[in-house]
Structure 1
Amino acid sequence: MYTNPQYTVSVDMITYKHERFIKQAIEGVLMQETSFDYELIISDDCSPDNTQEIIEEIKKNHPKGDKIKYFRHKQNIGMQANGTFAFNQCSGKYVALCEGDDYWTDPLKLQKQVDFLEANPEYVLSFHPISILKNDGTIVDDFITNVPKDYETIETLARLGNYIHTPSVVFRNVIAELPFEFQLTPIGDYFLYIILAQYGKLKYLEEKMAVYRYNVGVISKMSNIDIANNNVKMYSCMIGYIKDENVKKIIIDKQIKVVTEHYKQIEASYHNAFVSRNFVFVTIKKINFYSKNPKLFLKRIKKKFKFCFP
Structure 2
Amino acid sequence: MSTEVKVSVCIFTFNQEKYIRECLESIVEQKTNFNFEVIVHDDASTDKTAEIIREFQKTYPDLIFPIFQEKNLYSINMHKPFISGWKAAKGKYIAICEGDDYWIDEYKLQKQYDLINQSDHDFCFTNAYKESTSGKRKVYFKKRNQTNTYSLSEIIRIGGGGMATASILIKSDILKNLPEWFYQAPVGDYFIQILGSCKNGALYIDDITSVYRTGVEGSWSGVRKNMTESEIKNEAYAYLTVFNQLRDNTISHEDANFAIARELYIATQLCLKLKYTKLAKELIELSWSYYKFITFRHAVYNFTRFLW
TM-score (norm 2): 0.76
Q: Which residue of 2 aligns with 1:215?
A: 215
Give the root-mean-square deviation of aligned CA atoms.
3.0
**Partner of residue 68 from structure 1, selected from 64, 84, 90:** 64
Q: Is the 8 A contact 2:186 2:239 kept in 1?
A: yes
Q: Sequence identity of aligned pairs in percent? A: 26
Cα deviation digits, residues 280-309 of structure 1 (max 9, x gap): xxxxxxxxxxxxxxxxxxxxxxxxxxxxxx
Give the alignment of 1:3-82 within 5 angstroms: 6-60=4-58, 62=59, 64-78=60-74, 79-82=78-81
Supply the distance in 2 between the matched residues of 1:22 and 1:75 (Cα, whole angstroms).
20
Measured after TM superposition, the shift of residue 218 of structure 1 is 3.3
Q: Is the 8 A contact 2:39 2:89 kept in 1?
A: yes
CA change 1:227–1:213 in 2 (3 A) is farther
Measured after TM superposition, the shift of residue 269 of structure 1 is 2.1
Measured after TM superposition, the shift of residue 82 of structure 1 is 0.5
Q: Is the 8 A contact 2:122 2:170 kept in 1?
A: yes
Q: Is the 8 A contact 2:79 2:183 kept in 1?
A: yes
Q: Which residue of 2 aligns with 1:190?
A: 190
SS at match of 2:135: coil
Structure 1 or 2, whichever has the larger Rg, is 1
CA change 1:183–1:156 in 2 (3 A) is same
SS at match of 1:8: strand
Larger mean CA deviation between 66-75 and 231-240 belongs to 231-240
Q: Structure 2: where are the runs of 5+ without partners?
A: 280-308
Is 1:158–2:156 an aligned residue pair? yes
CA change 1:263–1:113 in 2 (3 A) is closer
Supply the distance in 1 between the matched residues of 2:9 and 2:172 (Cα, whole angstroms).
11
Q: Is the 8 A contact 2:127 2:141 kept in 1?
A: no
Cα deviation digits, residues 111-159 of structure 1 (max 9, x gap): 111011122x222222111122221133x23258878788611112223
Supply the distance in 2 between the matched residues of 1:164 and 1:29 (Cα, whole angstroms).
19
Q: Is the 8 A contact 1:80 1:186 kept in 2?
A: no
Q: Which residue of 2 aligns with 1:234?
A: 239
SS at match of 1:33: coil
TM-score (norm 1): 0.75
Task: Supply the AA of the counterpart residue of 2:44.
Answer: C
Supply the distance in 1 between the matched residues of 2:142 and 2:49 (Cα, whole angstroms).
30
**Partner of residue 249 from structure 2, selected from 244, 248, 259:** 244
Supply the distance in 2 between the matched residues of 1:192 and 1:207 (Cα, whole angstroms).
21
CA change 1:264–1:25 in 2 (3 A) is closer
CA change 1:188–1:146 in 2 (3 A) is farther
Q: Structure 1: where are the runs of 5+ without partners?
A: 273-310
Supply the distance in 2 between the matched residues of 1:49 and 1:126 (Cα, whole angstroms).
34
Q: Is the 8 A contact 1:191 1:238 kept in 2?
A: no
Measured after TM superposition, the shift of residue 242 of structure 1 is 5.3
SS at match of 1:98: strand
Task: Supply the AA of the counterpart residue of 1:66.
Answer: D
